[in-house]
A and B are shown apart, each in its own frame.
Chain A
Amino acid sequence: MPKERVGLVSEIPPGSNKVVTLRGREIAVFNVGGDFYALLNRCPHEGAKLSRGIIVGLPESEVPGCYRLSRPGEILRCPWHGWEFDLRTGKSHCDPQGLFTRQYKTSIEREAPSPDTCGDGGLTAETFSVIVEEAVVFVEV
């Protein structure tokens, strides 16, 4: 799988991202506490640029009135309608069925989803493998 250079680790401090266009696809590479994750820079819902979203945590609750925030800094919220994606997997957190049951497999998809889909497949932001070598970030596309 071809490896494309994204940039220096130092260019993407924790909590930030860098957008690159590789093979005609815009990819956003996020630094999550020192780990790098790459997503297609297009929300599977209506196409907003995920790079412009904010990074939040995941509020969880067993019963009303009792909340805790888990996984701070690991959830990306789309800048438009606020769908949330797990930066580590690209999986959506906006689907209540999928929220905690992990029914979507973590996967690295290589085909762009069709823009019209909003079914199960449409709930996942496309992810790419990231390789960091000697302070340089690469993505496999």
Chain B
Amino acid sequence: MSVIESPRTGAATKADVGIIDCDVHPLPQHSKSLYPYLARRWQDHSEQFGTHLRQPFINTTQYPRTAPLICRRDAWPPAGGPPGSDLAFMQQQHLDPFHVLKAILIPLFGNVASERNQDFARALATAHNDWQVAEWLDRDERLRASLVVTQDDPVAAVKEIERCARDGRFVQIMLAPRSSEPLGRQRYWPIYEAAQAHGLPLGIHSYGIGGHASTGGGWPSFYMEEHYATTMGGPAVMSSMVMEGVFEKFPALKVVLVEIGFAWVPSFVWRLDRLWERMKGEVPHLTYAPSDYVRKHFWYTTQPMEEPARPEQLRRCFDWLGWDRLLFSTDYPHWDQDDPSYAFKMKLSPAERKQICRGNAENLYRF
């Protein structure tokens, strides 16, 4: 296809206030890009054995072939490498034209949360963190990182948090919602203790395989179902963390659900509240109704933005969640990314737009 293009113009004008993008995916340039951050032993391991993920059909991917690497077709850098791997191109295509003041990197490459070989997973987590610092944070001061940890090994995770947190540019601890066990379980609490101690929110992004099928009923047939199924980890995370008493134990803990949607939250929490009224004897450690914990401890990124047929219904959803709870995200360079100028199909006042596109993230991440 021959393509001759003029630079992007006009489209970002509504977001001129400057946005904070809470979900941007960096990718290594090639399969060996993390080697400088991996011990020789693990480089060899990568070559000879590769990853060992908690998923069936080991060499397949849940990603659609129609959007290779689940990326925008226009996001492949002209200089080569996969989308999200070339900082200069990311600046030119995304950070500059969208007026991104800060962008939070969420590296999904390597699927660290799903790696079964825990020694390898620990090495990969450290490599991801060092790679983010050296190749991203140090090269563009707008970028911030998510701290990659091995959630199945909380002792190692805490060590990694201690090692990285003092850098100051890691703004959240990254966990996968499709975890080995529901995330409220006490085995994960050391991570939450460290998160609270360092004032770092948990950024729970819809990735990781965790050994479970994406739906409660097994593996779906169509990518369309698989894409939606990423949301299904959300209620599991939310109910588990609330019911197990995580927020009683860690009252300052903050949780950001990234790319898990948000419109499901109100109806889900109504149901939890009703159940709690009837059966609270089962969870006597809870002081408040589930909705109280949810409103106090959870935040949501906006992409993929819900697009109801009647756009104004979104407003009622925002009203319930709290306008201070929504964090704008694009998901660049993935195919389903949102453009801040067009993502909201309902009318927003300039103040509302600014709050969601920027203000809420400034408060939460203390930018």
Q: Chain B 1-20 against A: per-residue CB contact (8 Å), 1 yes, 0 no?
A: 11111101001000000000
A51 at the interface (CB under 8 A from B): yes
- Contacts known (A82-B66, A116-B345); A19 close to B336, Cβ less than 8 A: no
What distance in Å separates the Cβ of B67 from its nearest Cβ neighbour in chain A? 7
Q: List 23 A-B contacts (CB under 8 A).
A: A18-B2, A18-B3, A19-B3, A19-B4, A19-B6, A21-B6, A42-B11, A46-B339, A46-B341, A47-B11, A47-B339, A48-B72, A48-B74, A48-B339, A49-B5, A49-B8, A49-B74, A52-B73, A54-B73, A80-B72, A82-B67, A115-B11, A118-B307
**Do the beta carbons of A82 and B1 come within 8 Å of each other?**
no
**Do the beta carbons of B342 and A51 come within 8 Å of each other?**
no
Across the A-B interface, the 10 shortest Cβ-Cβ residue pairs: A79-B73, A52-B74, A46-B342, A46-B339, A79-B74, A16-B2, A16-B1, A118-B345, A47-B11, A19-B4
Specify which chain B residues have a CB less than 8 angstroms from the CB of A82 in the assembled complex.
Answer: 66-67, 335
- Contacts known (A26-B6, A54-B73, A81-B336); A115 close to B342, Cβ less than 8 A: yes
Can you name the residue of chain B whose Cβ is closest to the Cβ of A15?
B1
Can you name the residue of chain B whose Cβ is closest to the Cβ of A42?
B11
What distance in Å separates the Cβ of A77 from its nearest Cβ neighbour in chain B? 7
Q: Chain A 1-43 against B: per-residue CB contact (8 Å), 1 yes, 0 no?
A: 0000000000111011111110000100000000000000010
Specify which chain B residues have a CB less than 8 angstroms from the CB of A15 in the assembled complex.
Answer: 1
**Which of B4, B8, B311, B336 has a CB less than 8 Å from the CB of A80?**
B336
A53 at the interface (CB under 8 A from B): yes
**Do the beta carbons of B345 and A51 come within 8 Å of each other?**
no
Chain A positions within 8 Å of B, measured between CB atoms, are 11-13, 15-21, 26, 42, 45-49, 51-55, 77, 79-82, 115-116, 118
B343 at the interface (CB under 8 A from A): yes
Mark out the residues of chain B between 332 and 366 whose CB falls within 8 Å of any chain A CB in the assembled complex.
335-339, 341-343, 345, 347
Specify which chain A residues have a CB less than 8 angstroms from the CB of B67 in the assembled complex.
Answer: 82
**Do the beta carbons of A79 and B1 come within 8 Å of each other?**
no
What distance in Å separates the Cβ of A78 from its nearest Cβ neighbour in chain B? 9
Q: Chain B 61-89 against A: per-residue CB contact (8 Å), 1 yes, 0 no?
A: 00000110000111000000000000000
Q: Say what secondary structure dominates the interface of chain A.
A: loop
Specify which chain B residues have a CB less than 8 angstroms from the CB of A116 in the assembled complex.
Answer: 342, 345, 347
What distance in Å separates the Cβ of B343 from its nearest Cβ neighbour in chain A? 7
**Which of B311, B343, B347 has a CB less than 8 Å from the CB of A46?**
B343
**Do the beta carbons of B339 and A51 come within 8 Å of each other?**
no
Beyond known contacts A20-B4, A118-B311, A118-B345: 6 more, CB 8 A cutoff? A46-B341, A47-B341, A47-B342, A48-B74, A51-B3, A80-B72
Can you name the residue of chain A whose Cβ is closest to the Cβ of B343?
A46
Specify which chain B residues have a CB less than 8 angstroms from the CB of A18 in the assembled complex.
Answer: 2-4
**Which of A13, A45, A79 has a CB less than 8 Å from the CB of B342?**
A45
**Do the beta carbons of A52 and B3 come within 8 Å of each other?**
yes
Can you name the residue of chain A whose Cβ is closest to the Cβ of B307?
A118
What distance in Å separates the Cβ of B309 from its nearest Cβ neighbour in chain A? 9
